[in-house]
Structure 1
């Protein structure tokens, strides 16, 4: 996601520089954009194939004891008893039937939709302020840099505190303020400032919401299915937002901004719903383990804990 933010920042600078390549080798500047960015993408893919490893156990840059520690930590990251390593279709069913998968899908859609909208239509919105094409490309750079800074702040302090929801709500609040300004009849400077807030909110929320879902889907196979549903269904909102910023709505794009605001409030609703449900379930399980409801949690075996995953009385949902 940091790379995504940097790409957004530097793509504007790159497009500005490439605009001066008009006519070189008989090609238009827009053709050079596809050629140069395509070359960079292919080169990055080749480098990744050489330097990335499939699993911690095969990472040659780690010492043997480091590899063993990383493998152990991954296995026991979500449960003191580890996670079941044997596949069962029951885990697929557990993921499909779990309510929290769908509240997280709604949250994902509330972020990724407006993110796609603002990333791909920021140049159009900025250009509506009256700038020419070259200046528009330059003006899109600072908001993406700000978005990257908010992303780094959110992810760092989310990991430091072990919390997810407060930082997602902070990011969604930035979106609400930003879209409120864009929907208001104010000067272009205020609208430009709103783009900063929206990019900060969209980028800042995305990695944290992915981590939140991953933290609360357990064990291993259920998490795989749950995350596939989470991201797969959630990305449909990106397709929606490719059609809501219509050229006939320029320069205010009230329809697109209004739909993005609606999605943002749906995300806030999803976060609050999850937090209330997680707090209730965590408190109930704490009583079970402590013996307040007959001590059922104390009688469960390690094998049963691994099989139940996040439904185990010993599992605590991350807030």
Structure 2
């Protein structure tokens, strides 16, 4: 595609990938199930199972018509989500983190600072992401198993900061390549963030749907900022770039920590309410 319509091949790659993403997103509006009770291809048993899982996850009774009726309309869900400070807090925190992980768009460029040829550079850029894929899988599974979110996010992000520090501190080839692995591991924590958003804004369903979409969409503002923090003039050390990544990633960790403390406070309120009402069975709890 090099030179077609006056565009470089790498630009065509973005055009094609972007067009496919938009097409799949458009089709998803009609393919993805909206709610168990309105999904025709689910059997009655599968619908009951899906509703039970949603009730367990969100701590609400979905058989209540108020949840599925006026309270859960798209318009009310939009208002409830945008008027909840937790949604905005998570959106800003994730946007800050997206700036920090903007290095992924420049990964071949950063790998090229090791001093190898083009083919070798592209081959060397792959192993960190293979390792990250496995790490993300096991981190996410363990987060679900133990019912914990913050440390499964914060620890990989902290490992990424160590990678930034190494990369900006030395030109040693081995150390810089190790730093690329550490930076890539940030994404094993990043993948848990959106799950935490869904867990933390569980009800009503329409509010959660809007919250997840809004946080994801708002966070992409970080990609706009992140596209400007790796100019070629700052290479090959990119110290200023890594310093920005460290700052924004630290802000994200701090905001997520504050958010986890707030959820701990809400869990305390739920526990006291159960005690006051004489409820013996432990009910819904936010995942910290």
TM-score band, normalised by the shorter chain? Answer: 0.7 to 0.9
The reply to whether residue 208 of structure 1 matches residue 177 of structure 2 is: no
What SS does structure 1 have at the residue aligned with 2:58? coil
Question: Which residues of 2 match residues 185-204 of structure 1 at below 5 A?
Answer: 185-201=170-186, 203-204=187-188
Does the CA contact (< 8 Å) of 1:101 and 1:226 recur in 2?
yes
Query: What is aligned with 2:139?
Result: 154
Deviation at 1:185, TM superposition (A): 2.4
TM-score using structure 1 length: 0.74
Distance 1:285 1:113, change over 3 A: same
Deviation at 1:138, TM superposition (A): 0.5
Deviation at 1:77, TM superposition (A): 3.0
Deviation at 1:205, TM superposition (A): 1.6
Which of 60, 74, 77 aligns to 2:57? It is: 77
Does the CA contact (< 8 Å) of 1:87 and 1:221 recur in 2?
no
Query: What is aligned with 1:10?
Result: none
Deviation at 1:34, TM superposition (A): 4.5
What SS does structure 2 have at the residue aligned with 1:149? helix
1-side partners of 2:27 and 2:218: how far apart? 28
Query: What is aligned with 1:283?
Result: 268
Which of 73, 90, 94 aligns to 1:104? It is: 90
Which of 206, 221, 232 aligns to 1:221? It is: 206
CA deviations 1:254-276 (Å, max 9, x no partner) are 22111111111011101210121
Deviation at 1:87, TM superposition (A): 4.0
Distance 1:279 1:32, change over 3 A: closer
Unaligned runs of 5+ in 2: none
2-side partners of 1:42 and 1:269: how far apart? 36
Which of 156, 163, 168 aligns to 2:153? It is: 168
2-side partners of 1:266 and 1:254: how far apart? 18
Deviation at 1:190, TM superposition (A): 0.8
The reply to whether residue 94 of structure 1 matches residue 70 of structure 2 is: no
Distance 1:73 1:288, change over 3 A: closer
1-side partners of 2:266 and 2:27: how far apart? 43
TM-score using structure 2 length: 0.81
Deviation at 1:42, TM superposition (A): 5.4
Deviation at 1:110, TM superposition (A): 3.2
1-side partners of 2:113 and 2:40: how far apart? 49
2-side partners of 1:144 and 1:118: how far apart? 13
What SS does structure 1 have at the residue aligned with 2:148? coil
Does the CA contact (< 8 Å) of 2:107 and 2:125 recur in 1?
yes
What SS does structure 2 have at the residue aligned with 1:183? helix
RMSD: 3.4
CA deviations 1:48-90 (Å, max 9, x no partner) are 969x942256474x65523442244335531242271124555
Distance 1:193 1:251, change over 3 A: same
Alignment coverage as a number of residue pairs = 272
2-side partners of 1:32 and 1:164: how far apart? 37
The reply to whether residue 54 of structure 1 matches residue 32 of structure 2 is: yes
Query: What is aligned with 1:16?
Result: none
The reply to whether residue 65 of structure 1 matches residue 45 of structure 2 is: yes
